[in-house]
Homo-oligomer: A and B are copies of this chain.
């Protein structure tokens, strides 16, 4: 019974006091209470994002006319209910979950497997090369033996260039590695990122995910 979604249509007003203060004047809305304890208040727009919400772990206390939801950090959501227009619950059970393909991790794996995409004679040192400020996506060597740090993004934007710049700055302090050059690899690279990369001597490479996946027959996906 407790493990069910609950859908309530109600005329209500809402106050949130937590990381910020927010208020919703009275109106008719959808209240969605999930088995994980979360509560969200939806209008008929804003895509899937609720107007207001409380994420689990939190506790919902239901009194006549007032729902109070609090979490451990002391954030509070107070829903004042003027009128309940619909109240329905259904036990969905546990969901098997989403299977994804084509996220950055997949790009990284594919590029590491086909590191010569970056150029003839390239060899992989390792993926997720650890540094004090975080892991470098791929560290490899070019044909002349020079070290190359690769930052991979699905969509290459200015932040990614900044990130690679920080890595390069750090890696070049290591006399065993230096000089380290940089490659910014992404399925799509925005012009400003490209300009910034050029300004910093970083090479940009556009990745073809389907192409990389196509030549990757290691797991028999090809046919």
Which of B55, B91, B94, B154 lies in contact with A48, CB distance below 8 A? B55
Copies in the complex: 2
Given contacts A5-B44, A43-B92, A90-B85, contact A98 B22 (CB under 8 A): yes
- Asked whether B30 lies within 8 Å of A5 as measured between CB atoms, the reply is yes
Question: Does A178 sit within 8 A of B, measured CB to CB?
Answer: no
Within 8 A of B (CB), among A59-116: 85-86, 88, 90-103
Given contacts A27-B95, A86-B88, A96-B25, contact A101 B20 (CB under 8 A): yes
| A19 and B100 alpha carbons, distance in the complex (Å) | 11
Question: Does A52 sit within 8 A of B, measured CB to CB?
Answer: yes
Known: A4-B44, A34-B42. 8 other contacts (CB 8 A): A5-B9, A23-B99, A24-B95, A29-B92, A36-B45, A47-B53, A51-B97, A162-B162
- Asked whether B40 lies within 8 Å of A34 as measured between CB atoms, the reply is no
Which of B36, B48, B154 lies in contact with A44, CB distance below 8 A? B36
Question: Does A117 sit within 8 A of B, measured CB to CB?
Answer: no
Given contacts A56-B47, A95-B29, A98-B52, contact A90 B38 (CB under 8 A): no
**Residues of chain B lying within 8 A (CB to CB) of residue A48:** 32, 38, 40, 48-50, 53, 55
Given contacts A47-B53, A90-B9, A90-B85, contact A21 B96 (CB under 8 A): no
